[in-house]
């Protein structure tokens, strides 16, 4: 008797659990089929009316509110489902199911895309805030800035960040403006001393070097119209020749002209808006052009000071890097390494330009 009673008591509980499970399952299926679209379901608090005594009749609760578009979509899908249930034709039922599945797939895809875009925007905003915080301090911690810049620098912050990371601008904000002014004047003095002179005052080697630079400048980024402007090529020529004269151990080597181009674009972006395709350097004053050239010159110098043996006689620095690349490929990808050897190729044949131009042409 007791066992029967317990079984009867247990049965309603089991049915209740089954009922709730089935209801939950239907809700999830409805969500997957697009009956309620994530991102458009709003939770609004329903406030109950208070009587004169100030006592609330019911506790506050929350309810779902849908936009009219959601309601229309939901009704349309309900009609489709009802039609599919009434229709005894298997092909029609399959078509309805396929349509619902397709709709659900499209909604899930859209939701993922929206989430991805929102995530990217929030990440960008967070990175901008971190950069702003680092750059606004009186004394910038260069190592922390370098670590932050590893994943990329916001476009409009690149000029300041590049000057700092290359050691051209000092980390102390109180000294920065004075140091930049002095360095820019020093560059102008070098141009006047080495470049703005007649050929009669140059040696034969200097004349040949200047002639080679003048030949290479029009070849620099030939597929970008901006670099074909005569004034841009003249700026490149001044920067490269001045650097070569002041670094006689290497002098000018083909490939260094490519290394100037990123600096030129970044520092010009402080003065010119829009796409590089619409830029015209003639819009800038001679003082601004001089400042841009000086920044390019000093940043190029800082960059090449750490790898000058790439451009000295026989270029031992590049040969050393090519050898390291060959060993690295042999260790991590034996089939590729063996294939290169079987074909009789030398890594120097295809990797030399990678290191000579730091992948700028690739």
pLDDT digits (tens, 9 = 90+) for 155-191: 999 999 999 999 999 999 999 999 999 999 999 999 9
Residue-wise burial string across 327-346, b where 16 or more C-beta atoms lie within 10 A, e elsewhere: eeeeeeeeeebeebeeeeee
Same domain, 252 and 158: yes
State the pLDDT at residue 202.
Answer: 96
Same domain, 210 and 263: yes
Element (H, E) at 178: helix 173-190
% residues pLDDT > 70 (the chain): 66
Least reliable range by pLDDT among 9-18, 42-51, 164-173, 273-282: 42-51
For 255-261, what is the mean pLDDT?
95
Same domain, 210 and 289: yes
**3-class SS of residue 15:** helix
> Which of these, 258, 272, 252, lies nearest to 361 by C-alpha position?
258
How many structural domains comprise the chain? Answer: 2
Neighbours of 173 (CB within 10 A): 14
Same domain, 286 and 157: yes
State the pLDDT at residue 333.
Answer: 95
Same domain, 165 and 262: yes
Same domain, 279 and 144: yes
Same domain, 147 and 247: yes
User: Which pTM does this prediction carry?
Assistant: 0.65
Tokens of 80: 């489709």
Least reliable range by pLDDT among 169-173, 233-237, 240-244, 247-251: 247-251
Q: How many CA atoms lie within 13 A of 362 on its CB side?
A: 10
Reported as a single tens digit per residue, the pLDDT across 301-334 is: 999 998 888 988 889 999 999 999 999 999 999 9
Same domain, 233 and 324: no
Whether 340 shows a pLDDT value over 90: the answer reads: yes
State the pLDDT at residue 157.
Answer: 94
For 288-300, what is the mean pLDDT?
97
For residue 257, what pLDDT band results from cuts at 50, 70 and 90?
very high
Same domain, 197 and 251: yes
Same domain, 289 and 202: yes
Least reliable range by pLDDT among 17-21, 51-55, 236-240: 51-55
* Domain-located, residue 81: no
* Domain-located, residue 299: yes
Same domain, 264 and 173: yes
* Domain-located, residue 85: no
Residue 6 and residue 33 in contact, taking contact as beta carbons nearer than 8 Å: no
* Domain-located, residue 180: yes
Residue 263 and residue 300 in contact, taking contact as beta carbons nearer than 8 Å: yes
For 288-301, what is the mean pLDDT?
97
Most confident of 34-38, 69-73, 125-129, 275-279: 275-279
State the pLDDT at residue 125.
Answer: 86
Measured distance CA(82)–CA(35) in Å, rounded = 14
Residue 227 and residue 233 in contact, taking contact as beta carbons nearer than 8 Å: yes
Mean pLDDT, the chain, integer: 79
Residue 222 lies in domain:
130-308
Whether 135 shows a pLDDT value over 90: the answer reads: yes
> Which of these, 284, 288, 266, 289, lies nearest to 276 by C-alpha position?
266
For 147-154, what is the mean pLDDT?
92
* Domain-located, residue 241: yes
State the pLDDT at residue 352.
Answer: 94
Measured distance CA(216)–CA(220) in Å, rounded = 6
Most confident of 28-32, 124-128, 280-284: 280-284
State the pLDDT at residue 243.
Answer: 97
State the pLDDT at residue 332.
Answer: 95
Query: Which of 289, 308, 327 lies at the terminal end of a domain, its last residue?
Result: 308
State the pLDDT at residue 116.
Answer: 47
State the pLDDT at residue 102.
Answer: 59
DSSP code, position 198 = -
* Domain-located, residue 120: no
Whether 127 shows a pLDDT value over 90: the answer reads: no
* Domain-located, residue 271: yes
State the pLDDT at residue 35.
Answer: 44
Same domain, 240 and 164: yes
* Domain-located, residue 334: yes
């Amino acid at each position: 008797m007791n066992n029967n009673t317990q079984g009867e008591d247990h049965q309603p509980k089991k049915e209740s659990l089954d009922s709730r499970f089935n209801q939950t399952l239907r809700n999830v299926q409805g969500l997957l089929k697009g009956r309620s679209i994530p991102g458009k379901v709003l939770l609004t608090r329903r406030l109950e009316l208070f009587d004169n005594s100030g006592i609330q009749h019911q506790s506050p609760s929350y309810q779902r509110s849908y936009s009219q578009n959601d309601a229309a979509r939901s009704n349309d899908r309900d009609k489709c489902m009802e039609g599919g249930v009434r229709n005894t034709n298997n092909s029609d039922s399959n078509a309805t199911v396929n349509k619902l599945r397709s709709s659900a797939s499209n909604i899930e895809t859209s939701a993922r895309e929206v989430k991805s875009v929102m995530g990217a925007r929030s990440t960008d905003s967070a990175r901008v805030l971190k950069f702003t915080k680092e750059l606004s301090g009186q004394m910038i911690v260069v190592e922390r800035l370098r670590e932050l810049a590893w994943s990329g620098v916001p476009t409009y912050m690149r000029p300041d960040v590049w000057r700092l990371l290359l050691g051209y601008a000092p980390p102390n904000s109180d000294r920065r403006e004075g140091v930049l002014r002095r360095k820019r004047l020093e560059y102008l003095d070098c141009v006047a001393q080495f470049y703005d002179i007649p050929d009669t005052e140059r040696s034969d080697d200097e004349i040949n070097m200047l002639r080679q630079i003048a030949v290479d400048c029009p070849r620099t980024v030939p597929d970008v119209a901006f670099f074909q402007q005569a004034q841009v090529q003249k700026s490149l020529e001044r920067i490269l020749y001045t650097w070569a004269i002041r670094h006689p151990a290497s002098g000018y080597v083909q490939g260094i002209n490519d290394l100037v181009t990123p600096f030129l674009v970044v520092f010009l972006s402080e003065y010119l808006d829009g796409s590089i395709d619409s830029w015209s350097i003639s819009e800038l004053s001679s003082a601004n052009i001089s400042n841009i050239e000086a920044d390019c010159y000093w940043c190029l110098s800082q960059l090449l000071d750490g790898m000058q043996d790439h451009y000295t006689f026989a270029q031992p620095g590049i040969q050393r890097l090519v050898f390291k690349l060959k060993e690295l490929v042999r260790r991590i990808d034996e089939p590729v390494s063996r294939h290169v050897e079987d074909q009789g190729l030398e890594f120097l044949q295809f990797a030399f330009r990678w290191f000579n131009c730091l992948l700028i042409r690739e």
